[in-house]
Copies of this chain bind each other. A is one copy, B any other.
């Protein structure tokens, strides 16, 4: 029974402090709920309208099924056009394994603020088979509804860690000599001329001010996506998630 108190609790998950408190977040829409279940993620609640529940009899095997009216879904939802289903998911911080990290290419994000960018970068990581994303603690929260939305289900396949990036890199380096940090800079070397290793960290900075000064000494290489040579005015930069896609493509091609 979907009580007023429950609606209030679910709705509170729009706010980070309540997500942290309850260790829960929500996902919205049939497609992403399907993706969660497909990847073996067990929701605490599935809140859906009657029609959609009839369409998915398999959902009834889960605990915490709630029938909701359109109005009730709208009360919980963070979207202008509320979805037919919202699922409340438990949030576990993924385990961080240095012995694994030192053998792979992962992405480091220093203070990414836009939830759409973080979600899109998680989707890119997933596409290119990058299993781990390391975020500075001041990066936007991965359970933010807009991050979840933009990640399109990829957050169920990619581990997102919140760490002290400098400390984490030091830990990895303490156990291997063969680990490269690639810092992305507007004036870095052209990525097309670099021999890129598939082991290390692709480090990207904040949308406005780039990689923080404190992290600059970590970077073994500074790389960039060069703009096309031209006369006259030129654009400042590429969108950070577009750059992330191009960098990942260059590492994996």
Which residues of A come within 8 Å of B, CB atoms? 35, 38-39, 116, 120, 123-124, 126-130, 150, 152-154, 157, 192, 225, 227-230, 233-239, 241-246, 249-250, 252-253
Contacts and interface: CB of A to CB of B under 8 A. Distances in A.
B245 A129 contact: no
Copy tally for this chain in the complex stands at: 2
A233 B250 CA distance: 23
A38 to B, nearest CB: 6
Contact of A154 (B225, B235, B245): B235
Nearest to A35: B233
Contacts of A236: 152-153
The 5 closest A-B pairs by CB, nearest first: A129-B228, A242-B245, A246-B249, A192-B253, A126-B235
Contacts of A35: 233
Contacts of A126: 234-235
Contacts of A243: 245
Contacts of A242: 120, 123-124, 241-242, 244-245
Contacts of A152: 235-236
A80 to B, nearest CB: 13
A129 B241 contact: no
Contacts of A154: 235
Contact of A246 (B130, B230, B246): B246
A89 to B, nearest CB: 16
A29 to B, nearest CB: 13
Contacts of A127: 225, 227-228, 235, 237-238
